[in-house]
Each structure stands twice: as C-alpha cells, then as structure tokens.
Amino acid sequence: MVKMIPDNKFITQSDVPGPTREEIRCMVLCKAEVSPNDVVVDIGCGTGGLTLEFAKRARKVYAVDKNINAVNLTLENLKKHGLEHKVSIVKNDALIALKEIDRFDILMIGGSGGDLPSIIEEGYRKLGDSGRILITSILLETPVEAIKTMKKLEMKIELINVAVFRGKILERGTMMYSNNPITIISARNRGKER
C-alpha cells in the first residue's frame, strides 16, 4: 500500500494552491510508476504536495514555480517532512527552467501559465528512455490542449477523470461532500514503453 502524507500535514497559504488532495496524489503516483532511480520535474509545484510524494520515492526532484510564495511554501513543507535534501527548488518560468535541466524521467505539470503545449514539447525533448509526462487539470480545456500536443509527438496517452467524495460523520448520519473533479493525463513515447 502506498502511504501518502495526509492533507492536514501540509503548511498552506490562501494565495498558493494546494496541496493536491491525498487521493489524487495517490493516483498520480500510480500513473507515474515512479522508481528510486527516477529524476522528476514538478512544474507548478504550489504547496508541494506532489513534490513531497515524489521526493519520498524518486532519486531527485526539481520543484518549479514562478510564484515566490509557492516556492517558499514548498520549501517549508519539505523541511517539515525532512525531504529538502532530495529536491532542488527552482523559482522561474517553466520553459526557462526546463531548458536548464539536462535529462529527467518524469515531467509532472500541475500548472502551465498558458504555455502547456510548449512545456510538453520542451519536456518531451528532455525525457529519458522510459520517460513519462503527467498533467493534472481542473479545467476542461487543458486535456484537449494536452492531447493535441501529445498526439503530435506520437505519445501513448491515457486519460482519467476522478471525482473524490469524502464523508463527514454527523449525529444523524453521514454527509458526503465533493472536491473538484480532476483530470489526469499520462503519456509516454510509444518507442519508450516499458
């Protein structure tokens, strides 16, 4: 069983998104097939939810965000959980950051600032032989844009949409409430399949 950091164990800020909900982090990690030898780039790291989970399992993680508050919050969460030694924090635009990182195995895109096709294309060029690209999205347009770009690169694409409901125990019964549905797009090069 995959052990996730509970949502309430992250330091949060109202102006920084995240953390990605525990159930979604679990599904992303399963789709990523992360191994102890992998190098991961997490674009749009926000609070650092996925950054921390990758850091627990991968050899090295680059956490990228252009928002200084997100970068600082991710670093706080890394320190809180003793994972800062496995992560390089990069405060920069995604495209600039990707050009400065040599090779990696997994590209995780949680935010693109409107540059999704360019980020996918630049990341694809840097992927190792068994490289994967994953994208989480709350917008309907993002999967369409991602799939169009990934098809052009002849990647093998998988798409799932996840709706998570949590129960709150009340005196009279259990009330179910929902989080935003999330679409997870995962892809790998057809010639690089395991």
φ/ψ of 76, rounded to 5, equals -60, -45
- Mean pLDDT for 35-50 is 95
189 confidence band (pLDDT: 50, 70, 90): confident
pLDDT of residue 193: 47
- Give the whole-angstrom CA distance, residue 159 versus residue 155: 12
3 confidence band (pLDDT: 50, 70, 90): confident
Give the amino acid at 56.
K
Q: What is the mean pLDDT of the chain?
A: 92
Least confident residue range of 1-5, 53-57, 82-86, 163-167: 1-5
- Mean pLDDT for 46-53 is 96
- Mean pLDDT for 100-119 is 92
pLDDT of residue 194: 42
Domains of the chain plus CATH, in order, are: 22-188 (3.40.50.150)
pLDDT in tens, 138-185: 999 999 999 999 999 999 999 999 999 989 999 999 999 888 889 999
| 192 pLDDT more than 60 | no
128 confidence band (pLDDT: 50, 70, 90): confident
pLDDT of residue 18: 85
Give the amino acid at 191.
G
| 9 pLDDT more than 90 | yes
- Give the whole-angstrom CA distance, residue 123 versus residue 100: 11
User: What b/e readout covers 139-170, taking b as 16+ CB neighbours within 10 angstroms?
Assistant: eeebbebbbebbeeeebebeeeebeeeeeeee
130 confidence band (pLDDT: 50, 70, 90): confident
